Chains A and B, each alone.
Chain A
Amino acid sequence: METVFINELKPFLDAVAESGDLYVPKKSEQHFVFSRYDPSANTPVSAFAESTGVEFNNIRACTPVKEFLFPLRELAAVFPEPMEPEDVKPFAVFGLKECDLRSLDILDKVFTEEDFEDPFYIARREKMFIISSDCFDPGESCFCNVIEGKAYPDHGFDLNLTQVNNGFVVEIGSQKGREFVEKHSELFTKASGEALAERDRLRTKTLEQLEKNNAELKFDTPIRDMMDKTETSDVYDVEATTCIECQACTRICPTCHCFYLYDTRQKDYFAKMKMWDSCMRMAYAQVAGGANPRKVLGDRLRHRLMHKFVYFLDRYGLQMCIGCGRCVDAEAGDVDIRVVLKKLNEELGKTKVKAKSGGS
């Protein structure tokens, strides 16, 4: 992929902000959350303390990228007179990581599916300019390397930045990205071989770090097959015992996309609203009359994880987990997706041993 170089972030971000709202990560306690970039502000958003570079988000933000495309609550329909389509203006998001971009691959499968295209998602997706950046400081809960991730993106961005010694290597990932670079050519110089070598070094170092952090998370079988074979395991019931149904795991998950449709009455029109929902909620699958196939918490945890690693993969060819670890950080109970996977793997090992000894 073609690369260029910038020394400073501020002129680059100012240029991006010329064409629409730009969202950048901002430190909030120990996390990063996205907020709108204000080019006129005297002090740049704290994330870009240029002199030190320490607050350039080296890890994914807390906010799942789905918020930009599929907000928590949105108007889905108005009747009897249909609403005018919303005029979505171009916007840009800076600081997305490889895991975030893979979550977009997953959401795209759902919301741009032929014959069932979600018009609101698509309208925003088309107007979104994506400036991703490499992840150099994976968190304790990050396990993307276990789920086919690698902490730097190779697709799904318009521009990708890697922070190196005296600036940023900028990779061009799309036609939109190329047009931006051409339009603002004065901002860019050639990326030196030295800068590129440093980038590669940093990338390898991060991957090594991830491998080290998740050394214990090794599976003997592909996760899909392991999950499929242990579907009836009571690991789910045991692990779900600390769940207090806060639903944070599904809300913060960048790939969870369940929603709830409900109707409201306004002064002179009726509206259908669409709001995030959670399959961990007790009444989620309940029908009128009270029947509910997933009354039990363990069954809901089982369904959530089977959906992520088996059902979605079988249908769309992708796992519905990116290994970002947000669910681990967010939830109020003590359910850890990594622990569930580990225990299922151990259980599968045991059944294999049993089958072996039984057969001999």
Chain B
Amino acid sequence: MKPNLYQPINSEIVDIIDESPTIKSYVVVAEQPFKFETGQFVEMTLPGEGEAPFTPSSSPADTEKMEISIMKAGRVTDLLHTCKKGQKVGIRGPYGHGYPVESFIGKEVYIVSGGVGLAPIRSLFLTLVDRIKDFKSVVCRYGARTPEDFIYKKTLFGPWQKINGVDMKLTVDKANGQWNGNVGVVTTILAPNDVNIKNAVAVVCGPPIMMKFVTLKLLEFGFADKDIYLSMEKNMSCGFGKCGHCMIGKYYVCKDGPVFTYDQIKGYPKIWD
């Protein structure tokens, strides 16, 4: 019989990091060697309970373990938030196509993310800074609801800001007493001269409504449709273009995505819903 593509790889949660009131990161070690490309996703099974798709937030260069940041958003993720270190899980994948990092060489990479959307972006960011000289610059704009809702706080507020070649700006929708930075949705910290649009690609990842307005803003700045990379979140279930749940028009987000350029999907109805 052919290998069973529905079979999860037995894995274990070896560490859990509290990132924000609604987001935790899980360090997962698989029993078999497990490699992925940045932006690809995996299906994680909580045995007996259910399965959900996540894009790892760690660098693909780390082949020993993988980090997955999970926001409480539904039945499976609520249950995952009650898990303790040592919990056995299953991993299937990796699935789909990630970010075409090689095609970003020599360009400015303009990364805009929001909320838990920073999770896949962290994996891309770590991949880019590993070879930062290959890119003209890495310009990051990231928004969270409140200062507490930022994830990866230790690196976000410290080391990442100091990397040569990285330009990082943060914003919150709603400030508290501690916050000195910008207040407003992420589009309020985007400016037409953040990057040289003629030699830049934009990477957008976040809640659908944020992706929609950021995309509109980027178009207004003059970005070409094909230079805007979007991480689409749909109901990816099987992971290999058969079960049908994640279809946007002719595309299976799981197999043809999850990263799409705007020109690929803009013609289909309700892509942001």
Q: Which residues of A contact B (CB under 8 A)?
A: 76-77, 79-80, 82, 85-86, 110-111, 113, 116-119, 122-123, 232, 257-265, 270, 272, 274, 277, 279, 284-289, 291-295, 299, 303, 306-307, 310-311, 314-315
Chain A residues with CB under 8 Å of B50's CB are 262-263
- Whether, in the assembled complex, B76 has its beta carbon less than 8 Å from a beta carbon of chain A, the answer is yes
Decide if A263 touches B51 in the complex (CB within 8 Å): yes
* Option from B88, B245, B248, B255 in Cβ contact (under 8 Å) with A80: B88
Chain A residues with CB under 8 Å of B208's CB are 291
User: What are 26 A-to-B residue pairs whose CB atoms are below 8 Å?
Assistant: A77-B6, A77-B8, A80-B10, A85-B4, A116-B242, A117-B2, A117-B5, A119-B1, A119-B2, A119-B3, A232-B269, A258-B244, A260-B237, A261-B51, A263-B49, A270-B47, A272-B8, A277-B245, A285-B234, A287-B234, A288-B74, A288-B75, A291-B208, A293-B269, A311-B249, A314-B250
Chain B residues with CB under 8 Å of A258's CB are 243-245
Name the distance in Å between A318's Cβ and chain B's nearest Cβ.
Answer: 14
- Whether, in the assembled complex, B188 has its beta carbon less than 8 Å from a beta carbon of chain A, the answer is no
Decide if B237 touches A265 in the complex (CB within 8 Å): no
Q: Which residues of B contact A (CB under 8 A)?
A: 1-8, 10, 45-52, 73-77, 88, 90, 208, 233-235, 237-238, 240-250, 255, 269-271, 273
Chain A residues with CB under 8 Å of B243's CB are 258-261, 277
Decide if B5 touches A119 in the complex (CB within 8 Å): yes
Chain A, residue nearest B250 (CB): A311
Chain B residues with CB under 8 Å of A288's CB are 52, 73-77
Chain B residues with CB under 8 Å of A262's CB are 50
| A265-B74 contact given A77-B7, A232-B269, CB 8 Å threshold | no
Decide if A285 touches B73 in the complex (CB within 8 Å): no
- Extra 13 A-B pairs, beta carbons < 8 Å, given A110-B242, A272-B51: A79-B45, A113-B241, A118-B2, A122-B2, A263-B45, A263-B50, A264-B48, A274-B6, A287-B74, A288-B77, A293-B234, A307-B244, A311-B247
Chain B, residue nearest A304 (CB): B244
| Bound Cα distance from A22 to B174, whole angstroms | 68
Name the distance in Å between A129's Cβ and chain B's nearest Cβ.
Answer: 19
| Bound Cα distance from A85 to B50, whole angstroms | 23
Decide if A303 touches B235 in the complex (CB within 8 Å): no
Name the distance in Å between B66's Cβ and chain A's nearest Cβ.
Answer: 18
Chain B, residue nearest A274 (CB): B6
Chain B residues with CB under 8 Å of A232's CB are 269
* Option from A274, A295, A315 in Cβ contact (under 8 Å) with B250: A315
| Bound Cα distance from A62 to B10, whole angstroms | 41
Name the distance in Å between A126's Cβ and chain B's nearest Cβ.
Answer: 10
Which of A291, A293, A294 is packed against the most chain B CB atoms within 10 Å? A293
| A265-B48 contact given A287-B233, A287-B234, CB 8 Å threshold | yes
Decide if B10 touches A79 in the complex (CB within 8 Å): yes
Decide if B235 touches A261 in the complex (CB within 8 Å): no
Chain B residues with CB under 8 Å of A274's CB are 6
Chain B residues with CB under 8 Å of A117's CB are 2, 5
Name the distance in Å between B218's Cβ and chain A's nearest Cβ.
Answer: 21
| A85-B1 contact given A259-B243, A288-B74, A311-B247, CB 8 Å threshold | yes
Decide if B240 touches A116 in the complex (CB within 8 Å): yes
| Bound Cα distance from A294 to B248, whole angstroms | 10
| Bound Cα distance from A270 to B90, whole angstroms | 10
Decide if A310 touches B270 in the complex (CB within 8 Å): no
* Option from B2, B6, B73, B246 in Cβ contact (under 8 Å) with A272: B6
Chain A residues with CB under 8 Å of B250's CB are 310-311, 314-315
| Bound Cα distance from A279 to B242, whole angstroms | 13
Chain A, residue nearest B43 (CB): A261
| A294-B249 contact given A119-B2, A264-B48, CB 8 Å threshold | no
Name the distance in Å between B140's Cβ and chain A's nearest Cβ.
Answer: 24
Decide if A291 touches B45 in the complex (CB within 8 Å): no
Name the distance in Å between B31's Cβ and chain A's nearest Cβ.
Answer: 9
Name the distance in Å between B35's Cβ and chain A's nearest Cβ.
Answer: 16
Decide if A285 touches B246 in the complex (CB within 8 Å): yes
| A299-B242 contact given A260-B237, A314-B250, A315-B250, CB 8 Å threshold | no
Decide if B242 touches A111 in the complex (CB within 8 Å): yes
| Bound Cα distance from A81 to B154, whole angstroms | 39
| Bound Cα distance from A295 to B270, whole angstroms | 10
| Bound Cα distance from A296 to B8, whole angstroms | 34
Name the distance in Å between B95's Cβ and chain A's nearest Cβ.
Answer: 10
Chain B residues with CB under 8 Å of A307's CB are 244, 247
| Bound Cα distance from A299 to B233, whole angstroms | 19
Chain B residues with CB under 8 Å of A306's CB are 249
| Bound Cα distance from A13 to B227, whole angstroms | 62
Chain A residues with CB under 8 Å of B76's CB are 288
Chain B residues with CB under 8 Å of A116's CB are 5, 240-242, 255
| Bound Cα distance from A308 to B255, whole angstroms | 19
Decide if B247 touches A285 in the complex (CB within 8 Å): yes
Name the distance in Å between B174's Cβ and chain A's nearest Cβ.
Answer: 20
Decide if A270 touches B237 in the complex (CB within 8 Å): no
| Bound Cα distance from A280 to B10, whole angstroms | 34
Name the distance in Å between B13's Cβ and chain A's nearest Cβ.
Answer: 14
Name the distance in Å between A44's Cβ and chain B's nearest Cβ.
Answer: 35
| Bound Cα distance from A202 to B239, whole angstroms | 47
Chain A, residue nearest B273 (CB): A293
| Bound Cα distance from A195 to B250, whole angstroms | 47
Question: Closest 6 interchain pairs by CB?
Answer: A288-B74, A265-B48, A258-B244, A76-B6, A311-B250, A85-B1
Decide if A118 touches B5 in the complex (CB within 8 Å): yes
Decide if B74 touches A289 in the complex (CB within 8 Å): yes
Decide if B47 touches A79 in the complex (CB within 8 Å): yes
Chain A, residue nearest B237 (CB): A261
| A287-B235 contact given A77-B6, A274-B6, CB 8 Å threshold | yes
